[in-house]
Amino acid sequence: MTPEELATAIRHALTAAVDAGDLAVDVPDVVRVERPKAKGHGDWSTNVAMQLAKGAGRPPRDVATVIADHLGRADGVAEVEVAGPGFLNITLDAASAGELARTVVEAGDTFGHGTSESGRTINLEFISANPTGPLHIGHTRWAALGDAMRRLLQATGADVTAEYYINDAGAQMDKFGASVLASMRGEPTPEGGYPGAYVDDLAATVREQRPDAADLPDDEALPLVRSLAYQAQLRDIQQTLADFGVHFDVWFSEAELHDGGAVDGAVARLREQGHVYDEGGAVWLRTTDFGDDKDRVLIRADGIPTYFAADAAYYLSKKDRGYDEKIYLLGADHHGYIGRLKAIAACAGDDPQHNIEVKIGQLVNLGGAKLSKRAGNIIELRDLVSWIGADAVRYNLERYPADSPLSLDGEELRKQTNDNPVFYVQYAHARTANVTRLAIEDGVLREEGFAPELLVDPTEAALLAIIGDFPRVVAQAAELLEPHRVSRYLEDLATRYHKWYDTCRVRPLRDEEVTDTHRTRLWLNDATRQVLANGLTLLGVSAPDRM
């Protein structure tokens, strides 16, 4: 019996109680069940009696007693205990609990997926680094977390578009182009420009495409070199992210906002809404009406749009493209953006509490990492992946809340020991695969028998209980945008699997006859492997069969 099936059984018990005149309540559409925190409190617990007590006009324990009486008659329920102020602790019979193993195996890579976020249309923007240099450790955390959030939201039914906002407009692009051109000409890096060997690499790439570029007059050379270098650097960013397992559906150019007239159009639309005014020769957006600490300049007195104007135009672009919800994942130095972006949403006629969410990620410190030889003063993402491995980097960035500063030890992440969380979880998956291979060699075949009532060992009950909790963990992680809940769950699952492995044999001993106990345990082994694989996939981490 899955948690969803148990929740349905509870609703049926409530309906039976109402029909019998034992309770006068409205049966809720959704009943939540969860694993008890303490051992000995059953397989599952629900507080539905406490939720319904006020409407029933009766003490919660009275309501719980009535529900327990009807629920105790349900198939697969061995015992229902009323505890505390009105909790229901439910114990399933062995056959009903064990049936979950077959459910998981048959569901395959869809087990844990659901519909809790169905109906949401989301634009998820993350990283959005300037295309003036390689991706570095400052971008890595949101690369891992953002992609995991995308996977979680999609697994729970949301329509999600992952979008990278390319900051390819503004003075920094001119400085970038001038830096590459200076390298091509053998000149020093211009003041405020970009140093580093990667600039020389870009210069060589541009020279291969246009050998004459450096010899052109500055007014011709600079835009040409800037464009070719930008395209090369963007390709480098895209390849680095692909190697890191990060997918984007849309790469959106800031320059196209300006060139296509979207910025001017956004100012005009906001003026029509009554939130734009002119003062001191500049054009302002009255964001203080919506909680911002000060009004923001859209167009400077010299007629040049501000970054804020581009932000407003970009928000309206997302709105016009049909995204009801816009989620921004920004770096630790962007706290000030929260109020102004929410003010833009309000000025655009949206609800800042619903249509926009801004999450801030804290800094990551990685001990032992070397600065990039190409970029000089940064730790490049590609170097991290080469040194530690994409799986270890992603997993350890995803196992902590985004709003907590993070300090990692690179050498520890490289170790293949149980103290390394990603190794611990991946090893559990590899062990399940090895058990399956060897069991099949011994003649233990799933299709020849499944008797869930034989899964009676306490370690089997514990393993089944946590497997059944996977869909709830996924749904909660998606709702709260917290991938670390999946990581910590997988570590708990791996621990319970190892304890079960040490206690219960899947393979027969020498000369021992293969029985349904062995076959049924193979079902449980394979169900564990499936959940470990599904969880790692949601984190963008591989699930190796051999280690």
> What is the gyration radius of the CA atoms in the chain, in angstroms?
29
The rounded average pLDDT for each run of 10 residues, N- to C-terminus, in the chain (547 residues) is 86 93 90 81 89 91 94 90 92 86 96 96 93 86 94 98 94 94 95 90 96 95 96 95 95 93 93 92 92 90 91 95 95 81 91 94 73 64 88 92 83 86 96 97 95 93 92 96 97 97 93 94 98 98 95
**CA pair distance 543, 448, nearest whole angstrom:** 27
* 3-state SS, residue 132: coil
Detail the DSSP E strand segments found in 10-99: 44-46, 77-83, 87-92
pLDDT of residue 376: 62
Which H or E run includes 256?
helix 254-259
pLDDT of residue 371: 54
Task: Say what the pTM is.
Answer: 0.87
Which H or E run includes 373?
none
**CA pair distance 180, 336, nearest whole angstrom:** 32
* 3-state SS, residue 69: helix
What structural domains does the chain harbor?
3-92 (3.30.1360.70), 171-243 (no CATH), 417-538 (1.10.730.10)
Which H or E run includes 229?
helix 218-243
**CA pair distance 522, 101, nearest whole angstrom:** 9
Distances in Å between the alpha carbon of 521 and those of 452, 455, 508?
9, 7, 11
**197 within 8 A of 373, measured Cβ to Cβ:** yes
Which residue intervals of 399-457 are DSSP H helices? Answer: 410-414, 421-441
Which H or E run includes 125?
strand 121-126
**295 within 8 A of 288, measured Cβ to Cβ:** yes
Q: Which residues make Cβ contacts (< 8 Å) with residue 207, sequence separation at least 6?
A: 184, 213, 214
Distances in Å between the alpha carbon of 340 and those of 4, 10, 24, 271?
42, 46, 49, 17
Both tokens of residue 213? 């570029």
Residues in a beta bridge with 79: 91
**CA pair distance 243, 230, nearest whole angstrom:** 20
**CA pair distance 210, 119, nearest whole angstrom:** 50
**430 within 8 A of 546, measured Cβ to Cβ:** yes
pLDDT of residue 80: 93
- Residue 308 carries which side chain, given as an amino acid letter? F
Which H or E run includes 341?
helix 337-347
